[in-house]
């Protein structure tokens, strides 16, 4: 390379492409592929000569890019570069084999990286399909050409073919003139514009699909899908654009903006738009090179506006961007208001409307081109490429790790659906234009929440729950507890007698009865009796603090309190009637009643019972105000739950024996106490301490032949830790918390089936169910139980696209009446269901969820648990899951403490816990850097609430964390920290940098990362792979990583050594 024609800097866009090309050459980023058919006799020598002439004419085709061991990359123009046209003859293959080979050969060409120091950075292949038909495969690096320039080059080549040496016009101005123009622009003016344009935009609009991870690096695997908008619809779009004084390209951008809004759940979105970038210079339209730039474009989506009006507003707000379209994206990113380290956008729109000059030149000649196809690959997660001809051809290129095939198809269909609706109904509200496609809507509403939902009417309300069993098997055990057993006949008689006693004590229809009983068989008696007396039960726990019990009694205002331990009641919390069951003469053995009018015989006669619209129970849950809030559940809702779980979801048999371990104040206890009775099975009410010991549970299970057991995942872990073995005949129900996949195998080994039960208290215990198998890795909450709908909606109440995240809203018979004495909160959370005309209500759960392509629902955690750090939204459950997949970790929890992301872990082997560094290393390979906990704390056990759930509020951070162990690597790292810190300061132009400062948080980007890598190579005298900086981005981490590589005696690249760790 001693003979150099010219040398000059790169444009900012070229620098960005160089970064991606050098850090991930195997991914084929920015390798463009154009294929087209040549029909007619092809002279390969003449074609080669034509290309050679064009290479001589345009300096960019003779340009190399150098960047190693120099302060900044440059492009070097050589005097000459040789073109070669390869030929493969496929005429001997049948049609199927030929098509297969064409696809394989095109893929091979696309995947082959370029040596950026050896021009021309393009390759030509002619695949001979027949004597007079060839498929040309032209691959080139995007750093030298944009789409417009590629079309001009094809025109040059075809002109040269027509008249060799006859190019009459002078060569266009060289690309270096564009570079010089860029360097003359005023960055302060650009900064003022972009700062104002992006003011208030502090959170990127990221797709919420399962595979999309904010900040994740491109996988290098791509998936391309296509769709077409017919010519008549395209013509209507052109007319709409003209009527709104905008362009077809702006309409396409607007459609993408609306789609990004729907897929991200944001109404204020920024996405990338590729602009022509050509400078205002003479003959700029004829210049050859890489002029395009990608700039951020902002759209605020107003769902209530007519679509056409919104488009006009979008076009007006987008127009000023054109004056600043030359601004380097890295500068805009730095000036933007998003947190450091957050990407401004990760999707881009390319609207290509340049003429296909090659067809015009060859028309009417002996050789003509047809069937032109383009393929582009960028570092963005999704690139929408739209080409306008008579019809609109839409191509979507996505990261294959972020989008599966169905998701990519659905996304491109959503865009074309929006475009078609814009063409047909520009006056419609924008919300209707952006709604999910009609076939998706039919799945979500008519099938998965329609015909697929069981609509069997419940057989009985609570007062008559055991009537069938009393009739068909009166002598079968109904309830067993601590040496006491009632048959169905005995339970029925006892409940009826108690109901009469309640009526005699003044309990009337619509009253509430407090039930404050210890764990015994009469828990069930009390529930049945209360319902038969026409009242609703209010669960109370004798072990709860006195002030909580007193508050519930004041708020619920029961007509009477049933108790077996009056001494446990707060002295100042209740002065109303109390009925002590330990002193009541109830069958089957009724001791002589004490004297006194309060123990007079209960009057005979009919009991009021219940109606479907009446209140069944009032249960209190934790409230955000610090006071518990009451949830009012009707008889229709309770009957639907009991009937559905007993007979269908998942169903029990009359021979089952269900071990009940949950206290009555948690509504999941009703699945243990009532559901088995609906099937004629037996309830075993376990003592208060039984569920604390796995061995005791095993002993009880064996002694009584238990076939069903329910617990939270945290409680199951505690049972496993205490030696619980389960049994082949056990049906295991998991409830109350998200089911972690790592529990699937151990539970499946300890029972005949495992069921994940989901539902908030406000929709009557459970709303959906999913069977879990030993090999289950993706846990969902499954499908709805009877008479229940599960809808995932955005903040505007619209159905979200399949796979995207929204709020789970539950409708149907299980929806509670509301919160007791809290009308405002009830109105906020219990809202009319817009998908049945508002005739019924649905409950906004506050849970993030998505609907999967098979209709199952995946719940992702509480919306109020979602964290936000450095501009990114973080789901703690995702980090917890990665930690739980480590064999060294038995349990994990993640939360924020004092602006720090903290993880607490319980080791699987307490004698050899994993070190924080080892766990961080594991996390780095699975999660982006902003999701790596700053602090990791090891505990013997996670604290639990009385309900058996992880008590996040009880998790604390020790005042001092252990310092890293010293050693050879530590000493070496300490010596390197000063060097790394100095280079951070110099590359980022900062006065001070601390050991824990993050390169990207300080303002670093991919271009500055390349410069830092070059400086490190020079200082260390060895190769340094810039990708290491993305795994170890603080001064301390990077120095330690380099020291470790050196200590290992690595001879390869730093990246290879990092991967081995």
Q: What is the CATH number for 980?
A: 1.10.1200.10
> Mean pLDDT over residues 642-659, rounded?
95
What pTM value is reported for the model?
Answer: 0.82
Contact between 607 and 463 (Cβ < 8 Å): yes
Residue 1046, pLDDT score: 67
Asked, for residue 904, whether it belongs to a domain, the answer is no
Decide: helix, strand or coil at residue 700.
Answer: helix
Residues 669 and 795 in one domain: yes
Over residues 253-279, the pLDDT tens digits come to 999 999 999 999 999 999 999 999 999
Q: How far is the C-alpha of 637 from the C-alpha of 615, rounded, in Å?
A: 9
Burial of 27 (0-12, 13-18, 19+ CB in 10 A): buried
Do 136 and 85 lie in a common domain? yes
Considering the domain architecture, whether residues 135 and 211 belong to the same structural domain is answered as no
Residue 661 has pLDDT above 60, yes or no: yes
470 belongs to a structural domain: no
- Together in a domain, 160 and 210: no
Q: Which residues contact residue 830 at a Cβ distance below 8 angstroms, ignoring those fewer than 6 apart?
A: 762, 815, 816, 818, 841, 842, 843, 844
pLDDT confidence of 1060, banded at 50, 70, 90? very low
- Is the domain of 979 the same as that of 1049? yes
N residues, the chain:
1061
Grade residue 39 by pLDDT with cuts at 50, 70 and 90.
Answer: confident
163 and 195 assigned to the same domain: no
The pLDDT score that the predictor gives to residue 73 is 87
pLDDT at 763 over 60: yes
Query: Tens of pLDDT along 274-302?
Result: 999 999 999 999 999 999 999 999 999 99
Give domain status of residue 596, yes or no.
no
Quote the domain boundaries for residue 230: 191-353+378-435
**In this structure, is residue 804 part of a structural domain?**
yes
Same domain, 203 and 154: no
Task: Assign 3-class secondary structure to 310-321.
Answer: HHHHHHHHHHHH
Query: Do the domain assignments include residue 741?
Result: yes
Average pLDDT over residues 783-807: 96
* Maximum Cα–Cα distance across the chain: 125
Going by pLDDT thresholds of 50, 70 and 90, the confidence category of residue 947 is: low
CATH number of the domain encompassing residue 656: 3.40.50.12780
Percent helix, strand and coil across the chain, each to the nearest 5: 40, 20, 40
pLDDT at residue 358, rounded to an integer: 43
Give the pLDDT confidence of 545-565 residue by residue, as tens digits.
Answer: 788 889 999 999 999 999 986
Please state which of the ranges 179-188, 670-679, 912-921 shows the lowest mean pLDDT.
Answer: 912-921
- Helix then strand count (H, E) for the chain reads 32, 40
Last residue of one domain, picked from the residues 865, 885, 907: 865
Round to whole Å and give the CA distance between 18 and 24. Answer: 10
The β-bridge relationship of strands 867-869 and 857-862 is unpaired
pLDDT at residue 957, rounded to an integer: 83
Q: For residue 90, give the CATH number of its domain.
A: 3.30.559.10
What residues contact 877, with CB distance under 8 A and at least 6 apart? 738, 860, 861, 865, 894
Q: Please determine, for residue 339, whether its predicted confidence score (pLDDT) is greater than 70.
A: no
Return the pLDDT at 341: 59
Nearest CA to 771 out of 798, 751, 791 is that of 751
- 774: in domain: yes
Domain CATH for 579: 3.40.50.980
pLDDT reported for residue 70? 74
Domain boundary among 817, 844, 865: 865
Dihedral angle sign, alpha carbons of residues 411, 412, 417, 422:
positive
Same domain, 243 and 337: yes
Residue 465 within a domain: no
Which own/partner pairs from 885-893 qualify as long-range (CB within 8 Å, at least 24 positions apart)? 885/741, 885/742, 886/914, 886/919, 886/922, 888/912, 888/913, 888/914, 888/918, 888/919, 889/914, 889/919, 890/717, 890/721, 891/714, 891/717, 891/941, 891/942, 891/950, 893/942, 893/950, 893/952, 893/955
Asked if residue 372 has pLDDT above 80, the reply is no
Asked if residue 500 and residue 427 are part of one domain, the reply reads: no
Give how far the C-alpha of residue 876 lies from the chain's centroid of Cα atoms, to the nearest Å: 12
Give the Cα separation of 689 and 1011 in Å (integer): 64
pLDDT of residue 929: 67
User: Are 674 and 525 part of one and the same domain?
Assistant: no
Long-range contacts at 151-154 (CB < 8 A, ≥ 24 apart)? 151/354, 151/355, 151/356, 151/357, 151/358, 152/286, 152/288, 152/357, 153/54, 153/58, 153/61, 153/288, 154/356, 154/357, 154/358
- The tally of domains found in the chain comes to 5
Residues 342 and 403 in one domain: yes
Return all residues near 468 (Cβ < 8 A) that are at least 6 apart: 459, 460, 680
For residues 57-61, average pLDDT? 95
226: its two tokens: 């296509």
Do 403 and 545 fall within a single domain?
no
Please say if the pLDDT value at position 467 is more than 60: yes
Residue 605 lies in a domain: no
Boundary of a domain, candidates 865, 882, 906? 865
Cβ–Cβ < 8 Å for 640, 675: no
């Amino acid at each position: 390379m001693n003979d150099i024609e010219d040398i000059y800097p790169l444009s900012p866009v070229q620098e960005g492409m160089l970064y991606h090309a050098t850090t991930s050459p195997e991914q084929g980023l920015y390798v463009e592929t154009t294929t087209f058919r040549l029909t007619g006799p092809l002279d390969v020598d003449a074609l080669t000569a034509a290309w050679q002439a064009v290479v001589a004419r345009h300096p960019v085709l003779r340009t190399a890019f150098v960047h190693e061991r120099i302060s900044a990359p440059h492009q070097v123009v050589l005097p000459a570069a040789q073109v070669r046209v390869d030929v493969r003859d496929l005429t001997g293959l049948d049609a199927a084999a030929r098509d297969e080979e064409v696809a394989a050969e095109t893929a091979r060409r696309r995947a082959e990286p370029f040596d950026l120091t050896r021009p021309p950075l393009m390759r030509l292949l002619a695949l001979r399909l027949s004597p007079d038909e060839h498929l040309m495969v032209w691959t080139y690096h995007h750093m030298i050409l944009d789409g417009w320039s590629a079309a001009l080059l094809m025109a040059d080549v075809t002109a040269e073919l027509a008249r060799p040496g006859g190019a009459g016009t002078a060569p266009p101005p060289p690309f270096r003139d564009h570079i010089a123009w860029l360097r003359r622009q005023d960055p302060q003016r650009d900064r003022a514009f972009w700062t104002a344009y992006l003011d208030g935009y502090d959170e990127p609009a990221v797709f919420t699909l399962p595979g999309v991870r904010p900040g994740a690096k491109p996988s290098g695997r791509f998936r391309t899908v296509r769709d077409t908008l017919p010519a008549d619809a395209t013509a209507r779009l052109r007319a709409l654009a003209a009527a709104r004084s905008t362009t077809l390209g702006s309409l396409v951008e607007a459609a993408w903006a609306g789609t990004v809004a729907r897929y991200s759940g944001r109404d204020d979105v920024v996405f990338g738009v590729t602009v022509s970038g050509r400078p205002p210079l003479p003959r700029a339209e004829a210049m050859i090179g890489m002029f395009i730039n990608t700039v951020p474009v902002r759209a605020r989506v107003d769902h209530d506006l007519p679509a056409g009006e919104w488009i006009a507003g979008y076009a007006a707000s987008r127009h000023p961007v054109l004056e600043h379209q030359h601004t380097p994206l890295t500068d805009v990113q730095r000036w933007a208001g998003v947190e450091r380290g957050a990407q401004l956008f990760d999707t881009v729109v390319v609207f290509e409307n340049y003429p296909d000059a090659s067809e015009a030149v060859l028309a009417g000649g002996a050789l003509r081109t047809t069937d032109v196809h383009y393929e582009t690959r960028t570092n963005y997660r999704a690139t929408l490429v739209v080409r306008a001809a008579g019809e609109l051809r839409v191509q979507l290129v996505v990261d294959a790790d972020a989008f599966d095939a169905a998701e990519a198809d659905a996304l491109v269909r959503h865009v074309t659906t929006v475009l078609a609706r814009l063409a047909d109904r520009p006056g419609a509200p924008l919300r209707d234009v952006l709604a999910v496609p009609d076939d998706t809507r039919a799945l979500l509403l008519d099938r998965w929440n329609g015909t697929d939902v069981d609509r069997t009417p419940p057989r009985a309300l609570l007062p008559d729950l055991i009537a069938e069993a009393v009739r068909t098997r009166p002598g079968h055990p109904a309830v067993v507890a601590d040496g006491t057993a009632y048959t169905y006949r005995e339970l029925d008689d006892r409940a009826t007698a108690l109901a009469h006693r309640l009526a005699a004590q003044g309990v009337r229809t619509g009253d509430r009865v407090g039930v404050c009983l210890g764990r015994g068989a009469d828990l069930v008696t009390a529930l049945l009796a209360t319902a038969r007396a026409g009242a609703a039960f209010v669960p109370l726990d004798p072990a709860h603090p006195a002030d909580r019990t007193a508050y519930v009694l004041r708020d619920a205002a029961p007509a009477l309190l049933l108790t077996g331990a009056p001494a446990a009641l707060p002295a100042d919390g209740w002065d109303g009637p109390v009925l002590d069951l330990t002193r009541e003469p109830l069958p089957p053995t009724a001791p002589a009643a004490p004297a006194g009018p309060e123990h007079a015989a209960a009057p005979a006669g009919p009991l009021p019972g219940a109606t479907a619209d009446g209140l069944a129970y009032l249960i209190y849950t934790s409230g955000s105000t610090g006071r518990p809030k009451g949830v009012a559940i009707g008889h229709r809702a309770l009957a639907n739950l009991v009937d559905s779980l007993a007979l269908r979801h998942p169903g029990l048999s009359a021979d089952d024996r269900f071990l009940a371990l949950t206290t009555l104040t948690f509504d999941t206890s009703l699945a243990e106490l009532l559901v088995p009775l609906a099937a004629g099975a037996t309830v075993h009410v376990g003592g208060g301490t039984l569920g604390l010991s796995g061995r005791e549970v095993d002993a009880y299970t064996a002694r009584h032949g238990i076939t069903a057991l329910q617990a939270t995942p945290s409680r199951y872990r505690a049972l496993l830790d205490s030696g619980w073995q389960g049994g082949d005949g056990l049906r295991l129900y998991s409830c109350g918390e998200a089911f972690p996949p790592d529990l699937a195998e151990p539970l499946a080994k300890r029972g005949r089936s495992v069921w994940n039960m989901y539902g908030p208290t406000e929709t009557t215990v459970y709303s959906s169910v999913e069977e879990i198998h030993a090999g289950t890795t993706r846990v969902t909450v499954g499908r709805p139980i009877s008479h229940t709908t599960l809808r995932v909606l955005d903040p505007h109440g619209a159905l979200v696209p399949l796979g995207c995240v929204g709020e789970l809203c539950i409708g149907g018979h299980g929806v509670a009446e509301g919160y007791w004495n809290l009308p405002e909160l009830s109105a906020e959370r219990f809202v009319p269901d817009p998908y049945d005309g508002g005739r019924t209500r649905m409950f906004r759960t506050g849970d993030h969820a998505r609907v999967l392509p098979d209709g199952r629902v995946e719940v992702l955690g509480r919306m109020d648990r979602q964290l936000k750090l450095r501009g990114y939204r973080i789901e703690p459950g995702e980090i917890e899951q990665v930690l739980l997949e480590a064999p060294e970790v038995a349990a994990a929890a993640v939360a924020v403490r004092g602006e720090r992301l903290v993880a607490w872990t319980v080791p699987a082997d307490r004698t050899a816990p994993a070190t924080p560094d080892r766990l961080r290393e594991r996390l780095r390979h699975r999660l982006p850097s902003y999701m790596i906990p700053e602090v990791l704390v090891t505990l013997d056990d996670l604290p639990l609430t009385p309900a058996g759930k992880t008590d996040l509020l009880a998790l604390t951070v020790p005042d001092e964390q252990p310092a890293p162990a010293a050693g050879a690597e530590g000493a070496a790292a300490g010596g390197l920290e000063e060097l790394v810190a100095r280079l951070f300061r110099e590359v980022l132009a900062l006065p001070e940098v601390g050991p824990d400062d993050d390169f990207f948080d300080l303002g670093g980007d991919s271009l500055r990362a390349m410069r830092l890598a070059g400086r490190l190579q020079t200082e260390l005298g060895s190769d340094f792979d810039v990708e290491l900086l993305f795994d170890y981005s603080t001064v301390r981490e990077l120095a330690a990583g380099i020291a470790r590589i050196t200590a290992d005696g690595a001879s390869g690249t730093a990246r290879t050594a990092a991967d081995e760790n």
